């Protein structure tokens, strides 16, 4: 197993994050600083920032229905509740797969599988994510929906084509294959509708379903395999 993958499967970071950690000189293997993330690991004597790395743990993925006000980070400097605090898993170092802003609710994944996290969040894999936005200024007109579907011009460039449909006079469902900061909110504002409430209801093939707000569940092996397969299509 290569060093970056070893670190990722040990819950240190995503594969990409682990690669950056190694190249920054923070990792020692058999007592010596190792800068090559592709080095084959045949020892358990791996240290990060002066502490031993426990080694690969059983890989798990949780689905969580994130409440409003909870941040999508492993920790928060402003003493707000972080998503990892909502899952009682003392044996693994979990981190969120991508982010939802603090006021957005709904489906977020947490895992210690860095390789899978990278597959699901890297832009080139374009794993779809579906949101429902309740907006001001209803009813939403057909022209606004078409603009959202075709792509709208934002300050960081034009958005990719998306799937957009109206499920209530003031509720838009959007399926995106990119993940810019506050993208759904900015897209809706660009077509004249401020977002009042936003929920993510689907991540790839995985649906939020009836998972209660603040609750979580462990994904089955079949669900994880399907997510992994979608990212590689």
Structural tokens at position 185: 């909110």
Report how far residue 200's alpha carbon sits from residue 218's, in angstroms, rounded to the nearest whole number: 18
Closest to 190 in 3D by CA, of 139, 225, 154, 149:
154
Burial of 189 per CB tally in 10 Å (0-12, 13-18, 19+):
middle
Pairing of strands 163-168, 171-176: antiparallel
Catalytic residue among 101, 156, 170, 210: 101
**Which whole-number Å values give the CA distances from 191 to 93, 175, 178, 207, 214, in the listed order?**
41, 16, 18, 27, 32
At 191 the three-state DSSP class reads coil
Report whether 118 contacts 70 (CB < 8 A): no
Instruction: Examine residue 139 and say whether the peptide bond preceding it is cis (omega within 30 degrees of 0).
Output: yes
Element (H, E) at 132: strand 129-135
Backbone angles phi, psi at 73, to 5 degrees: -135, 170
Is 101 annotated as catalytic? yes
> β-pairing, 32-33 with 27-29?
antiparallel
| Active-site residue set | 101
């Amino acid at each position: 197993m290569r060093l970056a993958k070893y670190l990722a499967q040990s819950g240190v970071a995503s594969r990409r994050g682990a690669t950056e950690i190694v190249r920054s000189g923070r990792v020692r293997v058999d007592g010596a600083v190792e800068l090559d993330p592709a080095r084959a690991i045949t020892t358990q004597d791996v240290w990060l920032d002066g502490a031993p790395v426990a080694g690969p743990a059983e890989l798990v993925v949780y689905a969580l229905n994130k409440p409003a006000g909870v941040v999508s980070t492993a920790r928060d400097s402003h003493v707000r509740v972080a998503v990892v605090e909502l899952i009682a898993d003392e044996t693994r170092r979990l981190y969120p797969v991508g982010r939802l802003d603090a006021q957005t609710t709904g489906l977020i994944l947490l895992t210690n599988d860095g390789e899978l996290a990278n597959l699901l969040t890297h832009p080139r894999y374009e794993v779809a994510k579906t949101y429902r936005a309740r907006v001001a200024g209803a009813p939403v007109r057909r022209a606004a929906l078409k603009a959202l579907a075709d792509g709208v011009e934002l300050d960081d460039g034009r958005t990719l084509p998306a799937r957009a449909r109206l499920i209530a006079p003031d509720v838009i469902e959007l399926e995106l294959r990119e993940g810019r900061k506050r993208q759904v909110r900015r897209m809706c504002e660009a077509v004249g509708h401020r977002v009042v409430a936003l929920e993510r209801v689907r991540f790839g093939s995985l649906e939020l379903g009836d998972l209660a707000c603040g609750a979580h569940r462990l994904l089955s092996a079949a669900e994880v395999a399907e997510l992994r397969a979608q990212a590689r299509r």
